[in-house]
Amino acid sequence: MHLETKAIHAGRGVDPSTGAVTIPLHPSTTFERGADGSFPSGYEYIRDDNPTRHAFETAMAALEGGQAAVAFSSGMAAITAVFEAYPRKGNRIIVPDDMYFGIRSLIDETDIGHRFDFVAVDMRDMDALRAAVGAAPTGLVWIETPSNPLIRVVDVRAACNIAHEAGALAVVDNTWATPILQRPFELGADAVMHSATKYIGGHSDLMAGVVVLPDASPLERPLRMIQKHKGTAAAPFDCWLALRGLQTLPVRMRAHCEGAQKVAEALRKHPAVEAVLFPGLPGDPGHALAGRQMSGYGAMLSFIVGGGAEAAVAVAGRLKLVVRATSLGGTHSLIEHRASVEGPRSMAPSGLLRLSVGLEHPQDIIDDLDQALSVAGRPGAFRGVRLARDVGYRPK
């Protein structure tokens, strides 16, 4: 089946007892034993398994091209579980120097940072990655591409090969690309992680994470034991919402990507914008690589406003349609000044604004950015760029 079909049907079917086309929600925490003490339904207790969570895990495994999936209460719970579950070969984990800030906080502010030796490298530099992996016994290489918030593109196949040469596992955070745009297992990954809170849910109304695994993965049993015994399993309702989100994921991603491309092209022409970080632009350092390993350039972009933090915050403050809020991947376009959100440990330039392009009409997003970026209060600084009304933009 094609991805569009798997997104709707994998892990689900018509309910045999009622004929319902939409999968039922099963919030039950416990399940009846048979007279002989067995569990004929296959379910015992919610931390072990649940029909709704099982359906979501099955669907995610099918969509990513894996054999199993383990769903957690959040993306951070999934990330933490991977760090704790990988087969020990020393406690050394290689991470990208530009990565989701939640991981940096996890390392700095919890016991995870004391239990493991984290080494950060620029994963665009394969020589630097090889040197880091070879400097001491390494168990895990964590790959994030495109990265947050500098939108760097990492060569997944090359990074996985380097990890495997050293006997380490390679895990890819595929949250920003989703299974629709990037296929990490086909590039050599040993596991794929998603914050389902983002594009998989797609409506900013659930929190969940999931790790997808290939056949006979050494990670599966330890991940399931963490899910069960540490109580980090995804809730049935969140899994039900995620299953709903999966059904429209392929078509949403096409619309997200098309909108982001239009917005990035317009921002690049604005005199108040010093740089646009987006692999869909031909001049971007990751453009060629993204074109080879992704089927679309994604819907996340960052742009740097001239004038530093004060100017960038002022631009965000003038927006009327784009929402100033954390997170990404929902229907609403969201913007954040990452340096002030992340604080002194941030790698984001002071003038950087991260933009998650939603599903509004691209011209409306562009018009809002135009008025917010107006130089000395003068509108129209996009130099006459008109996308929708002049060139007939239509979402596919």
Backbone angles phi, psi at 302, to 5 degrees: -125, 145
Q: What per-residue confidence (pLDDT) applies to 86?
A: 80
pLDDT digits (tens, 9 = 90+) for 186-228: 999 999 999 999 999 999 999 999 999 999 999 999 999 999 9
Query: What does the domain layout of the chain look like in residue ranges?
Result: 3-245, 250-391
Using 70 as the pLDDT threshold, list the residues of the chain that sit under it: 87-90, 375-396
Assign 3-class secondary structure to the chain: CCHHHHHHHCCCCCCCCCCCCCCCCCCCCECCCCCCCCCCCCCCECCCCCHHHHHHHHHHHHHHCCCEEEEECCHHHHHHHHHHHCCCCCCEEEEECCCCHHHHHHHHHCCHHHHCEEEEECCCCHHHHHHHHHCCCCCEEEEECCCCCCCCCCCHHHHHHHHHHCCCEEEEECCCCHHHHECHHHHCCCEEEEECCCCCCCCCCCCCEEEEECCCCCCHHHHHHHHHHCCCECCHHHHHHHHHHHHHHHHHHHHHHHHHHHHHHHHHCCCCEEEEECCCCCCCCCHHHHHHHECCCCCEEEEEECCHHHHHHHHHHHCCCCEECCCCCCCCCEEEEHHHHHHHHCCCCCCEEEEECCCCCHHHHHHHHHHHHCECCECCCCCCCCCHHHHCCCCC
Q: What per-residue confidence (pLDDT) applies to 87?
A: 65
Q: What per-residue confidence (pLDDT) applies to 384?
A: 40
Catalytic-role residue among 49, 98, 155, 173? 173
Q: What per-residue confidence (pLDDT) applies to 256?
A: 98
pLDDT digits (tens, 9 = 90+) for 352-388: 999 999 999 999 999 999 999 986 344 444 444 333 3
What architecture does CATH give domain 3-245? 3-Layer(aba) Sandwich (3.40)
Whether domain 250-391 has CATH 3.90.1150.10: the reply is: yes
Does residue 228 carry a catalytic annotation?
A: no
Catalytic-role residue among 86, 100, 199, 297? 100
Q: What per-residue confidence (pLDDT) applies to 120?
A: 97
Q: What per-residue confidence (pLDDT) applies to 377?
A: 43
Burial of 268 (0-12, 13-18, 19+ CB in 10 A): middle
Q: What per-residue confidence (pLDDT) applies to 88?
A: 66
Does residue 198 carry a catalytic annotation?
A: yes
Catalytic-role residue among 12, 43, 47, 122? 47
Catalytic-role residue among 53, 92, 130, 198? 198
Does residue 215 carry a catalytic annotation?
A: no
